Amino acid sequence: MKIFKDKHILQKEILKTKGTSFVPTMGGLHKGHISLIKQSKKSKFKTLVSIFVNPKQFNKKSDFRSYPRNTKKDIKLLKKLKIDYLYIPTFKDIYGFRPKNKVFLDKSSKKLCGKFRKGHFKGVLDVVNRFIEIIKPKYIYLGKKDYQQLYLIKKHIEKQKIKSKVIECKTIRENNGIACSSRNFNLNKNQMKIASNIYNYLSNLKKKIKKNYNLFKIDKIKKDLISLGANKIDYLENYNIKSFKKIKKPNQKFNLFFAYYIKKTRLIDNI
């Protein structure tokens, strides 16, 4: 595994290859990331993982500061996984140039997380656009756990006619049901239990709603989540994942999208 901090040196290396399969991350690696990396390794291209905690996508400084970082442990894990390249850029390496493509922000960026985290998706797309320009990957591996992010990145790539193909990867979960997330590192045992109870409650509820849509009473569900130990709920909505729109008729296929806090930790998922 070769480690790069400078985009020019990285680009020189990539030029020697047939292309790259790219797995962007913010580090704090877990089973979800590992699954993306393993899929990438199956491709015919070199696997390139990046670790960059992008300050521009955090709407609160405190959230950026408390975001779990463990680069040493991550490097050890990536070596074990035998990836080809690891890119750990500095802020300047990413933001010290003017990208050719403008960021395309689809209007659905205003929904769900976009409503509650002002500027978040603009920050995400800005950094992804820059990474794409530096790396020009053949494939980009993204997780469905962050489905709105995945959807918006796909829209940007489509609109700007970028030649990278997005590979959508399924959500990997802990044994207790909750989606693996770097933010879980900030939860203590009791808080993990709360998150797991909330997941179980919502996945059972989804099964019931499928049979009887009248059970989808948002205010009642929010109250139940609070009594299960959530401290704040940002949203809870049923979206069709193809159209990425709120479902209108009860018989439409949907995923239940939700975001909530346990103390200061914000968790998102869709089931």
Q: Which parts of this chain interact with ligand AMP (CB under 6 A)?
A: 25-26, 32-33, 35-36, 142-143, 145-146, 169, 171-172, 179-182
Which C-beta is closer to ligand AMP: that of 22 or that of 254?
A: 22
Q: Write out the two tokens for 228.
A: 């299960």
Element (H, E) at 208: helix 189-211
CB of 241 to ligand AMP, least distance (A): 14
CB of 53 to ligand AMP, least distance (A): 9
CB of 15 to ligand AMP, least distance (A): 26
Helix axes 7-15, 120-135, angle to 10 degrees: 50
CB of 215 to ligand AMP, least distance (A): 27
Which C-beta is closer to ligand AMP: that of 157 or that of 179?
A: 179
Residue 270 has phi, psi (to 5 degrees) of -145, 135
Tell me which DSSP letter residue 107 carries: G
Q: Write out the two tokens for 9.
A: 């040196």
- Cα Rg of the chain (Å, integer): 19
CB of 143 to ligand AMP, least distance (A): 2
Q: Write out the two tokens for 107.
A: 């209007």
Which C-beta is closer to ligand AMP: that of 33 or that of 117?
A: 33
Which C-beta is closer to ligand AMP: that of 187 or that of 209?
A: 187
Q: Identify which of 38, 138, 118, 115 has the alpha carbon closest to the alpha carbon of residue 78.
A: 38
Residues 6+ apart with CB under 8 A from 140: 21, 22, 23, 24, 132, 153, 164, 165, 166, 167
Q: Which residues are catalytic?
A: 33
Contact between 229 and 261 (Cβ < 8 Å): no
Tell me which DSSP letter residue 258 carries: E
Which C-beta is closer to ligand AMP: that of 152 or that of 179?
A: 179
